């Protein structure tokens, strides 16, 4: 193979990777509340029976949450294995799925607000209600603990 053919091959591969790769649509205002104003204070008070705060949940709860996130819950399809919102099904969605590696997002939300969206969805987006159709409320609390763990700060 001549040098120029190698370069051409490399460029073609690079172009294929760029166009063929799944990149989710941009997130819409991740720091803006999703729970409607009249339901927000009640949602903020909703607490898990499994832990005080999801970010301090015991390791075994986080591990169960991971299994549910990647399995029964199907969250991985949109939110991605790395939690960055780049899952294969999320690629076709606008707005894009939430990027759980964003610590600023986590600081803005109480655990109960995340639960509210998992139960009620975020109207007009690909985030549909998943409790109780897909997972139980207890499953969702476990997944919330795992989602919090994507923020590494
Ligand atoms: C079909 C794709 C899809 C699946 C599956 C999915 N989500 Fe989402 N999710 C989204 C999208 C899109 C958004 C962004 C919605 C918005 O911007 O309002 C989102 C947003 C969220 C949010 C952020 C809510 C907020 O307050 O901003 C949480 C929490 C969430 N999803 C949890 C989950 C959990 C837990 C699962 C699995 C049980 C899951 N999602 C499965 C598409 C999905």
Residue 128 lies in a domain: yes
Q: Which domain holds residue 50?
A: 3-148
pLDDT tier for residue 4 given thresholds of 50, 70 and 90: low
pLDDT digits (tens, 9 = 90+) for 98-146: 999 999 999 999 999 999 999 999 999 999 999 999 999 999 999 999 9
Q: How far apart, in Å, do the first and last CA atoms of the chain sit?
A: 48
Our CA angle for 69, 70, 75, nearest 5°, is: 55
131 pocket-lining for ligand 1 (C-beta < 6 Å): no
Within a domain: 153: no
Q: Give a yes or no: residue 91 inside a domain.
A: yes
- Assigned domain for 112 exists: yes
Predicted pLDDT of residue 153: 77
Q: Which two tokens stand for residue 70?
A: 């990647």
Q: Does 89 map to a domain?
A: yes
pLDDT at 72 over 90: yes
Judge if pTM exceeds 0.85. yes
Flag whether pLDDT at 23 surpasses 80: no
How many structural domains are present in the chain? 1
State if residue 109 touches ligand 1 by the CB under 6 angstroms criterion.
yes
33 belongs to a structural domain:
yes
Ligand 1 proximity of 143 Cβ (cutoff 6 Å): yes
114 lines ligand 1 (CB under 6 A): yes
- Are 75 and 83 in contact by the 8 Å Cβ rule? The answer is no
Pick the residue whose CA is nearest to atom 2 on ligand 1: 78
φ and ψ at 73, to 5 degrees?
A: -70, -25
Of ligand 1's listed atoms, the one at least distance from the Cα of 114 is 29
- The helix-helix angle for 137-148 and 59-70 (nearest 10°) equals 100
């Amino acid at each position: 193979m001549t040098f120029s053919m190698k370069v051409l091959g490399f460029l073609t591969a690079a172009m294929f990777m760029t166009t063929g790769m799944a990149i989710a649509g941009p997130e819409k205002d991740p720091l803006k509340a999703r729970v409607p104003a009249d339901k927000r204070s009640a949602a903020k008070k909703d607490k898990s029976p499994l832990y005080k705060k999801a970010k301090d949940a015991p390791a075994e709860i986080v591990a169960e949450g991971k299994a549910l996130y990647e399995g029964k819950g199907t969250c991985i399809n949109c939110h991605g294995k790395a939690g960055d919102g780049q899952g294969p099904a999320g690629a076709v969605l606008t707005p894009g799925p939430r990027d759980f590696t964003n610590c600023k997002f986590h600081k803005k939300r109480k655990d109960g607000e995340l639960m509210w969206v998992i139960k009620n969805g975020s109207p007009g987006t690909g985030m549909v209600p998943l409790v109780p159709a897909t997972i139980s409320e207890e499953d969702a609390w476990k997944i919330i603990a795992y989602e919090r763990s994507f923020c590494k700060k």
